[in-house]
């Protein structure tokens, strides 16, 4: 017998269901998601919390004419299931498979691609404006979590949305979590709203009474809404959202299907900006995720019965970075650690416990984080901002304007640098080298291995002035490769060959493996590994000029990268040899790290082929 889920091939099928069938469908979706994500990995807890909401949206609205925009997008799995992608779900986050985020190229029901937070309301306002220009009356719904409301862009959008925008509905999914526990004044404000249901009931009763007073009731209601009188403050006190020009509906239990349907139906009838405040449970329906939603935010394969990961979690760069910073802070009371809602993701949990007074979680606010660090640095402290490479992009102006110009000594611990894999285009850390080295005075390190990471972080903290960044990849080091101990801004292995392989960071491992394989075939090439990328040592171009052929491999964007910078230096110094650069020239789609490196010809096998082809051409 088919389950209800197996009969759903699009929103039109959801519209045929009764409330009881919809509630049964929600149970089936949760079971499907837990089973499927346990095999593919992915974002589980956030999706389990939005099942009823997603089903209700597909019931009430006319998709794809009405548009749903998912903030971040990692909670859109149910949406994918209800829009004809159930049979492809086993390909989630795999090469050429379903994206873990909304993707318009994937489905007409996906409105806007998003992998970063706090963008949904801005995009929704833009679509509303386009609808007005095209004389359309379709609704646009932005689904945004309370965690995303710690990002300033959400407030910029709210400020712009309250006037001249029709048919905009913002759904605030309030679960008190982003990845870590939410922090700050807005989280406290939402908690206070949720704790005041009597006020909202009284407000509705006042409205109802006024609506039924003949002749003057509705006029009196409008006067009270627009006035600043004491009477309004007593009986009709507005919420933060209403002050921005929104109609506020809520708070509503986001797992109560009848209430959800009534609220969404009511929101459609206002034809002005509406905000619906839902409270939900992240991880709803799967006990392990409910009790530990942070661990099930983004997860690899796991055992459904125990909730435990299927593979042993090896020590990773993030953990090492966190441990090193914690140890450095023991002997230096000036060191502070800053995160943008990623305490666990960036390995700072031990620092937060041991040095509570010097740990700061600023929420999903990377721009604020950098300027906050600059403020700390201006008073003699040494702030270390641990941030994913792709999220640091959001604070580029602040690095320039608030830190670099005044040479404030802040440290950027740039995690997830390079290819990150299954999250795809929005999360690949391929731009940090190009944009950081374009800023005058920035020092940039790219270690290969845990020992080098420790050395680089120590040097970064102890530098006297200026912005210092240390970039390191997702995952672990290659334990079979043993680099010489101690810090070197560059390292050359071998001499006497005509061919030099050059790289930095994690890709140095691939260059090392390629060189060893070539040596086994009696093909001799030398290796140059860079650790300090900027300012580049004057010795680096001098070394390269000793070779007739240089092959440079870069796990970063080609335009403005270290390869291009080195090529320019060599050209200026009269280098007449051959310089071959392989780097990334476009956005990198989802796949495993090893698959992506192979596709980009940045793996050891491709390097071996390149070297052999060049040597063959010389003969």
**Site of tokens 């102006």:** 397
CA nearest 487: which of 518, 539, 452? 452
**Of 59, 80, 94, 282, which residue is the catalytic one?**
282
Contact 53, 173 (CB under 8 A): yes
Work out the number of other CB atoms within 10 angstroms of the CB of residue 310.
12
**Of 394, 515, 529, 582, which residue is the catalytic one?**
394
DSSP 291-342: H-TTTTTSB-SB-TTT--BSS-----HHHHHHHHHHHHHHH-TTEEEEESS-
**Of 85, 93, 343, 366, which residue is the catalytic one?**
366
β-sheet bridge partners, residue 68: 141
- Let me know the angle formed at the C-alpha of 544 by 539 and 546, rounded to the nearest 5 degrees: 105
| Helical axes 217-226 vs 197-211, angle rounded to 10° | 140
Distance CA 411, CA 471 (A): 11
H or E element that contains 148: none
Work out the number of other CB atoms within 10 angstroms of the CB of residue 502.
28
Contact 523, 610 (CB under 8 A): no
Using DSSP, state whether 473 is helix, strand or coil.
Answer: coil
CA nearest 556: which of 434, 424, 448, 422? 434
Distance CA 531, CA 466 (A): 18
330 catalytic, yes or no?
Answer: no
282 catalytic, yes or no?
Answer: yes
Helix, strand, coil % (nearest 5) of the chain?
45, 15, 40
Catalytic positions are 282, 366, 394
């Amino acid at each position: 017998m088919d389950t209800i889920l197996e009969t759903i091939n699009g929103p039109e099928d959801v519209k045929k269901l009764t409330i009881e069938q919809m509630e049964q469908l929600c149970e089936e979706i949760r079971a499907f998601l837990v089973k499927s994500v346990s095999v593919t990995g992915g974002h589980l807890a956030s999706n389990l919390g939005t099942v009823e909401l997603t089903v209700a949206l597909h019931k009430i609205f006319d998709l794809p004419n009405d548009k749903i925009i998912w903030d971040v997008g990692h909670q859109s799995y149910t949406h994918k299931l209800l829009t004809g992608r159930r049979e492809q779900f086993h390909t989630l986050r795999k090469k050429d498979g379903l994206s873990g985020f909304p993707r318009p190229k994937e489905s007409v029901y996906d409105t806007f691609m998003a992998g970063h937070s706090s963008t949904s309301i801005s995009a929704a306002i833009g679509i509303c404006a386009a609808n007005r220009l095209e004389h359309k009356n379709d609704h646009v719904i932005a689904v945004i979590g309370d965690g995303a409301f710690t990002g300033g862009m959400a407030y910029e959008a709210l400020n712009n949305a309250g006037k001249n925008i029709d048919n905009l509905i913002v759904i605030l999914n309030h679960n008190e979590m982003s990845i870590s526990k939410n922090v700050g004044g807005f989280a406290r404000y939402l908690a206070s709203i949720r704790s005041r249901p009597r006020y909202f009931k009284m407000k509705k009763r006042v409205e109802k009474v006024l609506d039924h007073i003949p002749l003057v009731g509705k006029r009196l209601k409008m006067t009270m809404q627009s006035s600043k009188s004491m009477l309004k403050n007593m009986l009709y006190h507005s919420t933060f959202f209403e002050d921005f020009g929104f109609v506020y509906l809520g708070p509503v239990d986001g797992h109560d299907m009848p209430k959800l349907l009534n609220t969404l139906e009511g929101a459609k009838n206002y034809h002005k900006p509406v905000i619906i405040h839902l409270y939900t449970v992240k991880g709803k329906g799967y006990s392990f995720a409910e009790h530990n939603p942070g661990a099930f935010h983004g997860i690899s394969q796991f055992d459904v019965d125990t909730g435990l990961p299927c593979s042993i979690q090896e020590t990773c760069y993030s953990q090492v970075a966190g441990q090193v910073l914690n140890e450095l802070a023991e002997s230096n009371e000036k060191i502070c650690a800053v995160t943008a809602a990623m305490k666990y993701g960036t390995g700072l949990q031990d620092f937060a416990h041991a040095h509570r007074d010097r740990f700061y979680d600023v929420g999903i606010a990377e721009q604020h984080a950098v300027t906050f660090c600059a403020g700390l640095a201006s008073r003699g402290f040494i702030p270390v901002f641990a941030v994913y490479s792709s999220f640091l992009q959001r604070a580029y102006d602040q690095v320039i304007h608030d830190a670099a110009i005044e040479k404030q000594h802040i440290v950027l611990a740039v995690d997830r640098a390079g290819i990150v894999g299954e999250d795809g285009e929005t999360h690949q850390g391929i731009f940090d080298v190009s944009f950081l080295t374009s800023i005058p005075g920035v020092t940039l390190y790219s270690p290969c291995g845990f020992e080098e990471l420790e050395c680089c972080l120590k040097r970064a903290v102890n530098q006297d002035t200026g912005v210092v960044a240390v970039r390191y990849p997702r995952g672990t080091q290659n334990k079979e490769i043993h680099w010489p101990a101690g810090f070197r801004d560059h390292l050359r292995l071998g001499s006497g060959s005509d061919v030099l392989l050059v790289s930095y960071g994690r890709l140095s491992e691939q260059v090392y493996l390629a060189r060893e394989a070539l040596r086994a075939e009696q093909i001799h090439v030398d290796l140059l590994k860079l650790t300090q990328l900027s300012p580049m040592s004057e010795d680096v171009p001098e070394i390269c000029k000793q070779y007739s052929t240089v092959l440079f491999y870069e796990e970063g964007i080609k335009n403005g990268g270290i390869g291009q910078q080195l090529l320019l230096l060599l050209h200026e110094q009269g280098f007449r040899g051959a310089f071959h650069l392989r780097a990334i020239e476009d956005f990198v789609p989802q796949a495993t790290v090893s698959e992506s490196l192979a596709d980009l010809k940045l793996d050891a096998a491709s390097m071996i082929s390149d070297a052999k082809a060049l040597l063959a051409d010389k003969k």
